[in-house]
């Protein structure tokens, strides 16, 4: 078997052992009564700064409703050619008596969820291209800091052992360092806290666009709205609305829907054939 020319980093083995120790310490701290270690609140490792950024960009539900209404006014129905009467999505829904059904808090939550998925993908893709973390720092910085902390933990163990100092003397400090090690490791190994417990680097994990899945989520909510309101199912209207909702923000300016209603129809039929 041919040997790889890539030199193996000798720090990885000891690092993984420390990460396993840190994970065990984290579980112990989570199950205990103490809410923090040296003032560090737990659990803090899953605090998602991207989620905070998305929430800020998305704004309150009222703003989402205003943006959705703007879309309804901006496009001729049906997309892309409309009719001779220049009917918009807004006037079409109003004529059918359905407008208020699609402006309810319940349906608005579905719209916001679809937009959140899209914004998450856009943000993660940008961070992936720039090799930066959700904190805005280079991945290389987090990696170097992670190994520095691991090295210091190793030195700490060596010093206590050399001088015969009992573990409790540095236990609190050590746990704080282990938690910080996990925070950096979570950046360097994004799948560390998933079921896979993978040590794959961010550069090897491409953001996933859940386009078809989100489209079907929105489409099913429209179907459910039709059913609950005892409205005769109108698949073409459902496809048109799904495309309008799932398109990016710039669609109003470009006057282009992506996905198109035809693409939504294809995805709907594909899942029907699958099952």
Residue 138 φ then ψ, to 5°: -60, 140
Omega of the bond leading into 72 within 30 degrees of 0 (cis): no
pLDDT, position 230: 80
Mean pLDDT across the chain: 86
Task: Encode pLDDT of 113-139 as tens digits.
Answer: 999 999 999 999 999 999 999 999 999
Q: Which of 273, 253, 265 is nearest to 215 (CA)?
A: 265
DSSP string, 108-121: HHHHHHHHHHHHHH
Q: How confident is the model at residue 109 (pLDDT cuts 50, 70, 90)?
A: very high
Looking at the DSSP bridge assignments, the partners of residue 36 are 41
* Cross-strand pairs, 88: 76
Does position 45 have pLDDT exceeding 50, yes or no?
Answer: no
Instruction: Give 150's Cβ-side CA count (13 Å radius).
Output: 23
The total of other beta-carbon atoms located within 10 Å of residue 18's CB is 21
pLDDT in tens, 179-231: 999 999 999 999 888 777 789 999 998 887 788 999 999 999 999 988 888 87
Q: What is the pLDDT of residues 215-227, one digit of tens each?
A: 999 999 999 988 8
């Amino acid at each position: 078997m041919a040997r790889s020319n890539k030199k193996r980093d000798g720090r990885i083995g000891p690092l993984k052992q420390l990460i396993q120790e840190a994970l065990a310490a984290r579980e112990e701290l989570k199950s205990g009564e103490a809410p923090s270690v040296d003032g560090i609140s737990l659990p803090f490792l899953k605090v998602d700064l991207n989620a905070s950024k998305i929430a800020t960009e998305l704004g309150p539900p009222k703003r989402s409703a205003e943006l959705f209404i703007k879309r309804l006014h901006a496009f001729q129905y049906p997309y892309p050619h409309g009719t001779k009467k220049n009917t918009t999505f807004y006037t079409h829904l109003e004529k059918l008596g359905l407008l208020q059904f699609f402006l309810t808090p319940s349906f608005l939550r579905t719209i916001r969820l679809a937009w959140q998925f899209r914004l998450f993908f856009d943000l993660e893709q940008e961070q992936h291209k720039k090799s930066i973390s959700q904190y805005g720092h280079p991945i290389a910085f987090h990696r170097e800091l992670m190994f520095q902390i691991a090295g210091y933990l190793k030195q700490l163990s060596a010093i206590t052992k050399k001088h015969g100092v009992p573990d409790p003397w540095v236990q609190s400090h050590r746990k704080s360092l282990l938690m910080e090690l996990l925070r950096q490791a979570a950046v360097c190994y994004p799948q560390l806290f998933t079921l896979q417990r993978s040590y794959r680097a961010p550069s090897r994990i491409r953001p996933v666009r859940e386009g078809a899945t989100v489209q079907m989520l929105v489409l099913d909510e429209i179907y459910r709205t039709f059913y609950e309101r005892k409205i005769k199912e109108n698949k073409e209207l459902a496809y048109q609305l799904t495309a309008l909702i799932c398109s990016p923000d710039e669609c109003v300016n470009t006057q282009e829907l992506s996905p198109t209603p035809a693409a939504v129809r294809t995805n709907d039929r594909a899942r029907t054939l699958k099952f």
